[in-house]
Structure 1
């Protein structure tokens, strides 16, 4: 299994610090979870049904004409490589490492490249995988450049996959409305809504590709309770507007705090900040000794900081950085 953030139980064991004392900044999940409504008993009792209004809510929320619900975008990441013959695949690097891993597992020729190289050498690939905004680097791309890249790939039967797991705070940047044959857009419910535990996401693309993906994943990809909760979240427009404003504010505050301590972010988005530092491993361990968990990267050495989520969390991070960077 690849390394990911959120390994809090492991940190508790490793450092011998009780779980309730930890400030977990190791993920890009919003610290403000959507207030889950009561789940009706029938959602537990009956098999899920497609005509429960969830897909209508998702198409309206994402402005996407064609969508497929999946058990987290991770399920699509793992399934899509099974749907192509052996291909030349370019994956953004650094990035979410499950993308390259999934394509390699299924025998594809995978090259991990910075985003600029993928755009410049598009003719070298049959499939290009981008993350927008990128995790962890925060790279953002012009809509026109993405559509031109898709057109180039699609003209040769290729695919452009755009993972938009962190785009919900800036929805104007999404490509969901443009998703079509050869353009595959992944959306996650877990990050912005703070509901990673429901394991829900959506894929936007052409009807033919979505039907093939549905056959690959099988029936009942989302449980009845999950469908009920996700439908409520996707239709609560007032909550979404208020949360975007709150996350914009918290993100700016985190940037200012890190910059004050000489860790000016090299990238990020409204849910996390990415700081390259030659001594990232030591800083990660020193913060963990103070029960603050960050996500460490080794190539290049860097730390990713999620949002603290409350006043006490910001204060703790401020004090800890003062100590470990003294």
Structure 2
């Protein structure tokens, strides 16, 4: 999952894609708050604010097309990092968004249940490809669906669903499990199997969303179909080089998980002191309700701090993590 959250119908302060709005658009923030101080503090996305320390980019990664060997090494690294049975179960893609778009195009029209509220691109992608889509509050309500889609941990409420529970609820149908936020969470790392496709985000975990790198884990036959649909050279040389550097670094992931969990707890305390009630989240974002959500959104915006709001729940705001001490202090001043 590359964008964030559920639609903000009627608002104009987020990146729009096919009518669905996402966080991260500071141009929109500047239009909303033209007198806000620069630089903006963008807390509207769920991306690790402390990026992986990449080594210097090898010039050849830009000068030549990636080779099949480069891609094979990346898939092997991803297989080890994500617990797939082998690289033949891995599809590398330019971000998970393109995987969300591609998978529905490979299947005949089906009845699809999406557990929500969640990242809105899932339901939209299946609907655009001619499938019949309905939203359900719980996987147990998916009876009759041939495809069950769930995000775990979920965005924006942080709910967790196990692969086993989803597979039982799907009752023989296909399960699409988006684990974009799983890397830094103490949750099950699911392994692909018959009827189970897993999506993993590189950019969110490693704070490198601009690279556009994501993975699908699936049975080899389906993995080959997805890979064929993406076409040759789907992943850039720089993205492959970044993946090969970062994916084997389990020690960095462990440290990042511990540090971001501490940051999330610190943010919870700040939100609580400001009168907010935490309603969910992950180690990379926190979602809370406030007695005057719109007023706080305006106060933050006027101070040059951009957070995520939800038109269907005006009291609700979602906060990404500040990247450094100065940013924490800046947010604290407004929340006080």
TM-score normalised to structure 1 length: 0.91
Match of residue 167 from structure 1: 182
Counterpart in 2 of 1:275? 288
Q: Distance in 2 between matches of 1:144 and 1:308?
A: 35
In the alignment, is residue 230 of structure 1 matched against residue 253 of structure 2? no
Provide the residue aligned with 2:323 in structure 1.
309
Structure 1 unaligned spans of 5+? none
Match of 1:132 in 2: 152
Q: Does 1:92 align with 2:115?
A: yes
Match of 1:40 among 58, 61, 67: 58
1:248-287 equivalences under 5 Å are 248-277=261-290, 279-287=292-300
Q: Which residue of 1 aligns with 2:4?
A: none
Aligned equivalents of 2:264, 2:187: Cα separation in 1: 18
Q: Does 2:222 match 1:209?
A: yes
Report the Cα distance in structure 2 between the residues aligned to 1:34 and 1:58, rounded to whole angstroms.
16
**Which stretch shifts more, 217-226 or 295-304?**
295-304
Map residues 72-111 of structure 1 onto 2, 5 A cutoff: 72-111=95-134
1:285, distance to aligned residue in structure 2 (A)? 2.2
What's the offset of the Cα at 1:313?
1.8
- Cα 1:18/1:49, change in 2 over 3 Å: farther
Equivalents in 2 of 1:140, 1:6: separation in Å?
25
Moved more, 259-268 or 137-146: 137-146
Q: How big is the shift at 1:278?
A: 5.8
2:23 maps to what in 1?
5
Using the TM superposition, give the Cα deviation of residue 280 of structure 1 relative to its aligned residue in structure 2, in angstroms.
2.5
TM-score w.r.t. length of structure 2: 0.88
Q: CA deviation at 1:147?
A: 3.8
Unaligned runs of 5+ residues in structure 2 are 1-16
After the TM superposition, list the runs of 4 or more consecutive aligned residues in structure 1 that deviate by more than 6 angstroms. Answer: none
User: What secondary structure is seen at the aligned counterpart in 2 of 1:190?
Assistant: helix
The alpha-carbon deviation at position 110 of structure 1 amounts to: 1.1
The offset of 1:277, in angstroms, is: 3.8
Contact 1:292 1:317 in 2 (8 A): yes
Q: 1:229 to 1:313 in 2, by over 3 A?
A: same
Cα drift, residue 284 of structure 1:
1.6
Residue 321 (1) aligns with residue 335 (2): yes
Distance 1:281 1:98 in 2: 25
SS at match of 1:169: coil
- Give me the whole-angstrom Cα distance separating, in 2, the residues matched to 1:315 and 1:210: 46
Q: What is the alpha-carbon distance in structure 1 between the residues aligned to residue 268 and residue 321 of structure 2?
A: 10
2:278 partner SS:
coil
Do 2:181 and 2:205's aligned partners in 1 also have CA atoms closer than 8 Å? yes
Q: Distance in 1 between matches of 2:261 and 2:252?
A: 14
**Cα distance change, pair 203–33 in 1 and its aligned pair in 2 (3 A):** same
What is the deviation of 1:181? 2.4
Q: Are the counterparts in 2 of residues 181 and 209 from structure 1 also a CA contact under 8 Å?
A: no
